[in-house]
Every structure is written in C-alpha cells, then in structure tokens.
A and B are shown apart, each in its own frame.
Chain A
Amino acid sequence: MSAETLARWQFGITTVYHYFFVPLTIALSMLVAVLQTIWVRTGQEKYLKLTKFFGKLFLINFAMGVVTGIVQEFQFGMNWSEYSRFVGDIFGAPLALEALLAFFLESVFLGLWIFGWDKLPKHLHLASIYLAAIGTMLSSVFILAANSWMQNPVGATFNQATDRAEMTSLLAVLTNPVTLVTVPHVLLGAYMAASGFVMGVGGWHLAKLSAAAKAGELTPKQAADLDAHRFATKFGAWVLLGASVGILITGDIQGKIMTEVQPMKMAAAEALWETEQPAAFSILTIGTLDASAPIFEIKVPGVLSFLATGTFDGKVEGINDLAKAFAGGRLINPDSQLQAEAQERLKQIGVEDWVPNIPVTYWTFRLMMGLGFAAMGIAAWVLFTLRKGGLPKDTKLWNWLMIAAPLAPLFANSTGWIFTEMGRQPFLVTGVLTTASANSPGVSAFEVGTTMVLYTLIYGALAVVEVGLLRTYIKKGLPEVVEPKVLTDDDAPLTFAY
C-alpha cells in the first residue's frame, strides 16, 4: 500500500475511534450538570448520587477523548502536510480558536470540578461543570466550522502566488450554511448517545431492582436506588426522544443543503446512478450497487425527491450525469469562488474518479438512519413501559435493549461521519483539493504503516481497560455519598480524592 492509502486508513481508524468518546464527552457533561443542578435545587440525596455515579462514568470516558484528541490535532500536519499548507490560512484558525476558547475552558474547569467538591461552595462548584460542558460544546462548533468548510469552501480565494486557499471573509466561513445545520445535527447526535447511555444504565439497574421489588425483598437502600434509577431512566428516555426529533429535522435540512452544495454526495447516499424525476427512496437494495440492475429492492416513490429538494416531484441528479458534468468543468457548488478560481490547478493535478465509494456511502447512510430510528424506538418503548409507575421485567430482551440504547446512537454517529467524509471523496476540500494530492510527500509508507499498527494496538489495549472500567462502575451502582462541604481544617481528609 502507498503512504497515501495508509494515511487515509490511519486517519479513518484514529478519527472513528476518537469519535467513540466525543459524543459522551459533549453531552454527558451537560446531563451531569443538569443532575447536579437538580441536587443543588432540591437537596435530595438521590440526585447527588446520580451526579457522582454518572460523573464518574463520564470521567472514565473523558480521559479517552482527551488523549485520542491530541493525535487528531497533530496528524493534520504529520500525515497531510500539503493539505495543512494549502488550507492553513482558513482551517488553522478554527483549530487554534478551539484550543484557546474551548479546550482551556473544558480542561481547566473539569479539573476544578473533579477535585473541587470540598474546596468550593455549592453554586461555584456547579458552575464549573457547566463551564466545562460549554467548553466541549464550543469545541464542536469550531471543529465543525472547519469540517464544513471542507465540505463547502466559502469565504475564500485562491492565491496563485502562494498556491493556496486564503480567507476573504470570516463571517462567510462562520455562517456557512453547512456549518449552521451541522452543528445542531452533531450536537443532537451527541445528546442521543449520552441520553441513551443514561437511559440504558438506569434501565438495566431498574430491571434488576424491579425483580427484587416483585419478590418483596427490597432493602431500604435498594428502594432508594430504584427510585433514583427510575428517574435516570425516564430522564434519559425523554432527552433521547427529544434529540431524535431534533435530529430528524436537522438531518432533513442537511439533505437539502447537501443537494445544493454537494449533489454527488446526495446521489451517492442513494446509489442513484441515473437522474430521476421524481426520485424514489431506496429502503433496501440487494445486489450490486454499481450501475447494473439490482436483484431485489424496496423503494418508496417520491421520497428521495422530498429529502433532496423539498417537493415530491423534484429532480435528483444521478451519479453518472454529475460525474460527466464535473469532468466537463461544472463547479460542484456554482457559488463557490474558491472552486472557480482553483479549477485550473485542479485540472493540472487531475481527478482520477469523481465518484465516491458507493457501497460505503449507501450503507453508512442507511445504518446511520436505521440506528437512529432504533434508538428513538427504544426510548419510546421505555417510556411506555415506565408509564404510571410501571417497572420493566428483568428479561433478556430488556437488557439487550438497554445495551443497545447507547450503542445504537453511538454507531449512528460513527456511520454518519464515515458517510460525510467518504461522500466528499475524491476531495479533501470539495472541488478544490483532492485527497490524493494532499498527503505528506516526505513521509514514507513504512512510517505511516508502522505508526498505524502501533496506534491500533495501543487503542485496542486502552479500549479493553476503558470498557472494563465502565462495566465495573456501572455494575457497582450508585455510590454512598456524604454531603460535600468546604473544608476548613487543613489536615482533614478530602471527601473526594484520586
């Protein structure tokens, strides 16, 4: 394999792995903040227990997000030096701002939150988790502005003398329509994963405790725990349901913007080879996804037209027509100044194939939606089960659903990102810079390959440790808590210590 192919794989592996931890970091921090707020407001012990319980699970996850995130910031320069040089004038700014505005906020205040239980008054301590949560959210805004610019390069010009893209309008970069709709979509995706986690963990405990309750063997502690887990499960389920609705709306808007600025990606999502009007949505196609006829397919008439254009009889361009048009000089986004100005350069470098990997885009798009709907369905089922004081039975099905509750949205996050990034191929910057021309020319296949194997081994080992810790602490259940108070005696033991 060439250094470039290996660099693609390395980016794929390290980024998908990093993103297993990001959604929980972004959204669980806020859910824990909400739990702590309820505790501060009501003073009821069960909310403090839930705060500490989910706080600890959050921290186990957070550590992995931090250490795998450093790799991300370095690898643009390490593996994609031509990319870094070409886009640095625009792409570098949000990355630097992410560190300055977001990473500092989240890291400094999370440190304060972890170790500050008996150093700070209640409200100040509560503020620290909110600031950390806001930091994680801000971080996603900046990195998504950077990524959206790669999908739809606006606010930039091509400078012949320096042979690179240069920023002309920060406002245009920040108000990129792709950014505006991607930020809520990604944040809601994070909330689905985190609320699925809270619901799943709570629901799992609830089933165990409800078995004991039926047998009339509940100890007072178990009765209190049952009450707390019941709250967590319902809290998670409502957030999951709400986020699911939000993600449908934002996803719908995304589809329409994508049709305008990246029509090839929309066609690739559907494996729509020929232009259709009206276009049907394929729920399932079995057979080859290339231009030859499928063996078996289920299609819903007009739905793709609606997703792409907002009307049931809109025209959706097919892969073949688009590839021909792009090769003939049509701009991918006709409004992009950068694409127009860099067209000559692109021609000289050459585009080998204008079509992304269709099986990957087709299936990841469906997996993303299917897993998202599954999570939504589980949330609805949980709320139905728990209505009017109902309790779940400790069945295999229930336990599997509780395990699926965080995993389905988490993998929907992963497949959504794989779709987004693979659907942009063969480009790193749509219509401007090909992936094949943007890796580091000075880095050998040996270097990329070796480090890729080592990253994978280290990440694999860390995954074992992380999942083991999560399992241990989930099974252990709610902790015993003492009311935190600001310590005045310098020699007193801390109520919270590492």
Chain B
Amino acid sequence: MLPLAAEPTTLQVVWFILIAVLWIGYLVLEGFDYGVAMLIPFLGKTEKEKRVMVHTVGPVWDGNEVWLLTAGGAMFAAFPGWYATLFSGLYLPLFLILVGLIIRGVAFEYRSKHPDTRWRRAFDWMASIGSFVVALVFGVAFGNFVYGLPVAPAAPGSQLFVLYPSPYLFQLFVTPLGLLCGIVLPVLFLFHGSVYLALKTKGEIHDRAEKFAQQIGWVALAGGAVFLVLSNVVVHPTGLPGLLLALLAAVALGGALWMIRQGRDGAAFVGTTLTILFVAIGIFLTMWPDLGFKDAMGGAASPLNRVTAASTDFTLTIMLVAAGIFVPIVVAYQSWVYWVFRKRISVNNIPDDAAEPALAS
C-alpha cells in the first residue's frame, strides 16, 4: 500500500486541474442547453417558438455533451481509482443521469421527425424532464463532494475502495449542501439557459426569455448565496481562496442579474458563465487533495486520494501531451462552430412544416 501522506507529483496536480477544466467546460456549455431544454414546454407558446428554442441549441448540444464524456474518460485514464469508486458508489444516481441523457438526446433528434402535436409534446417533455433530472442529480452529487464521500477498502488490504456504507444512496439526500445544490444547480442552469436564449433570439420569444431570466435570476442569486456561505464558511472552509472565489461567484451572479435587467443579454451571459466557473472552481478546491472522499473510519485523510487513485506518471505524461495538443484544437473548432451560428434567430427563420406522411405503424 502506498503511504497516505505521499506528496503528489506535478503530473497528478496538473491532471486534477485538467479534469476540473473539463468538468467546468461541461457545466458551462451543457448548463445553458439544459436550461433551454427545461424551458421548451414553458416558454415556447407556439410550435414555431418551440422550434426556435430547439434551434438555439440544436447544432451545438451534442458537442457540449462530449465535455462530459471527456471528463469521465479523463478521470478513468488519470485517476482510475477515483473513476472506479465514484462511478460504482453512485450507481443509482448515475443511472438516473444516464436515463436523463438518453431521453433528452433522442428528444432533440426525433421531435422534428414527425409533425404531430402529441408526438412533439411528448419529446418536448422528455427533453425538459431529462435535462432537469441530470442537473438535479449532478447538483446533489457535487453538493456531497464538498463534504467528502466516505470510503473504505472493498476487502481488508484491497486497493479497491467502495463507498461505505454501501449502497450509499439515501445519505446523499440528507446533507444540507446536497439538497441545496440539487435545487440551486437546476435553477442556475435555468438562469444561464434563459439568458442564452435571450442572447440567441429576437422577437417575442426573446422578450419572454429575458423576462423569465429577470425573475429566475433572483432565485439563483438567493439560492447561490446560501450555498456559497454554507459551503465556504460552515461545511468545508478552504480559507482565503475559497472565500475569494465565493465572492467572485456572487459578484458575477449579481452582475448577470443586473445586466439582464438592463436588457444586456451578452454581458449577462458572461456573468452566468463566470458564476458557474467560480462556483465549480470553489467546489473542486474542496475536493483537493482527497478527490471528494473521506475516510469512512474517521481518519484525518482519505485513503483514496490524488496519489493512491492516480495512474502512473508514464500514462499521465502521454495523456498530457495528447491533451496539450488536442484540447486547444477542440476549443478552436468548437468556438468556430458557435461563430458560424452566431446570428439571432426568430420565428421568421423557421420554415413551415413540410407535409409528411403519417408514421408507419
């Protein structure tokens, strides 16, 4: 067994940061497409308005989701112990996330394939509920990472760790931060998503999105403030850096609300993006050095941590070279695609439904 107090190598530190970057990319990008999808049944009054909403995220949502897959893959490659324990430990929550991702994914593709109102309403709800479930469960999970999930060896002397006690399910929902974050994250995504929608549309749907953002922004600000104080002052203080990040997050969130109330969609979107960025950095700060775990037996440090969970420096080096080359390339072409679709759209851009035959039974 490796000594628990082993110092992390530079590569382990770098990979922890990179994984945080990938998660932040996911939360920022899919954050708004979850928000938009959640709102489809509520903000789109006509079929064409709903289609405008789908169009704001249609070209990009799938690429956004790859940030999650890459974050998961990077955890597997760089910290196999982290991936193994977390993914098996949070078995049922992850199952819920997968179901959410499945139903929202097919909804985007299939709603357009048949011009029947009931068919489309069904897929609108699947997109909405699926996105909500994913945001809710990730919120609960991240809230609990701040406390640390209790781990113990799967068997005496085993290098494999399991959450203790197993199954670890109901415990997730009785922590104040878990519950709070489970509510705040969907609300934050609703705010982020409605601001994005306002930014990407014009006409009535734009006005409605902006109005909704002006309201949900207050809820996000109130919930976010309680979360930041609880997290950084009561549950897991990380000193000055944590407080500074909390302050920045609060300022960004307040700024976003102020900007959207001025009708400045772009500035507000920068605000909500920065909010997610600062909140996520703050949470990842609490996950260092124990990766969001703690010793189930009450020890001071988690036996599963950035050293014991990590891959060899050889593998980490190879991966770092690949990431160093390809992450910038990915960011470049994904940004370019956003630029291609930069124009605001409205119901005028949506053609009438082509007459299509009834669905073969």
Q: Footprint of B on A, CB under 8 Å?
A: 59-60, 62-64, 66-68, 70-71, 73-74, 76-79, 81-82, 84-85, 87-93, 95-101, 103-104, 107-112, 114-116, 119-120, 161-164, 166-168, 170, 440-444, 447, 451, 454, 458, 462, 465, 468-469, 471-473, 475-476, 490-495, 497-498
CB-CB < 8 A to B105: which residues of A?
63, 66-67, 70
**Do the beta carbons of A170 and B318 come within 8 Å of each other?**
yes
CB-CB < 8 A to A78: which residues of B?
87-88, 91, 94-95
The majority secondary structure among interface residues of chain B is helix
For B105-136 the 0/1 string (1 means CB < 8 A from A) is: 11011111110000000000000000000000
**Do the beta carbons of B359 and A497 come within 8 Å of each other?**
no
CB-CB < 8 A to B356: which residues of A?
472, 476
A-B contacts besides A82-B154, A104-B70, 19 pairs, CB < 8 Å: A62-B109, A70-B98, A77-B88, A81-B88, A88-B80, A88-B311, A96-B319, A111-B62, A114-B59, A166-B314, A167-B318, A442-B166, A443-B88, A443-B166, A451-B91, A454-B99, A472-B359, A490-B344, A492-B349
Give 29 A-B contacts (CB < 8 Å), ordered by A residue: A67-B101, A73-B73, A81-B85, A81-B162, A88-B77, A90-B315, A96-B77, A97-B322, A100-B330, A101-B326, A103-B69, A104-B63, A107-B62, A107-B65, A108-B62, A111-B61, A162-B2, A162-B159, A442-B167, A444-B167, A454-B99, A465-B106, A475-B360, A490-B349, A492-B348, A494-B350, A494-B351, A497-B349, A498-B108
For B56-88 the 0/1 string (1 means CB < 8 A from A) is: 001111110110011011101111110111111
Query: Which residue, of B59, B85, B88, B348, has the highest number of chain A Cβ atoms within 10 A?
Result: B88
**Do the beta carbons of B89 and A442 come within 8 Å of each other?**
yes
Name the one of B62, B113, B344 contacting A469, with C-beta atoms under 8 angstroms: B113
Interfacial residues of chain B within 305-361, with CB under 8 A of chain A in the complex = 311-312, 314-315, 318-319, 322-323, 326-327, 330, 333-334, 337, 340-341, 343-344, 346, 348-351, 356-361
Distance A497 CA – B55 CA, assembled complex (angstroms) = 8
What is the CB-to-nearest-CB distance from A348 to chain B, in angstroms, rounded to a whole number? 12
Distance A309 CA – B99 CA, assembled complex (angstroms) = 47
Q: Is B300 an interface residue (CB 8 A)?
A: no
Name the one of B89, B167, B318, B343 contacting A93, with C-beta atoms under 8 angstroms: B318
**Do the beta carbons of A441 and B154 come within 8 Å of each other?**
yes
**Do the beta carbons of A494 and B349 come within 8 Å of each other?**
yes
**Interface residue count on the B side (C-beta < 8 Å):** 86
Distance A492 CA – B162 CA, assembled complex (angstroms) = 57
**Do the beta carbons of A74 and B87 come within 8 Å of each other?**
yes
Distance A427 CA – B110 CA, assembled complex (angstroms) = 40
Distance A162 CA – B315 CA, assembled complex (angstroms) = 15
**Do the beta carbons of B114 and A472 come within 8 Å of each other?**
yes
**Do the beta carbons of B359 and A469 come within 8 Å of each other?**
yes
**Do the beta carbons of B55 and A498 come within 8 Å of each other?**
yes
Question: Given the known A-B contacts A63-B105, A107-B63, are A442 and B88 also in contact in the complex, defined by CB atoms under 8 Å?
Answer: yes
Query: Which residue, of A95, A110, A114, A454, has the highest number of chain B Cβ atoms within 10 A?
Result: A95
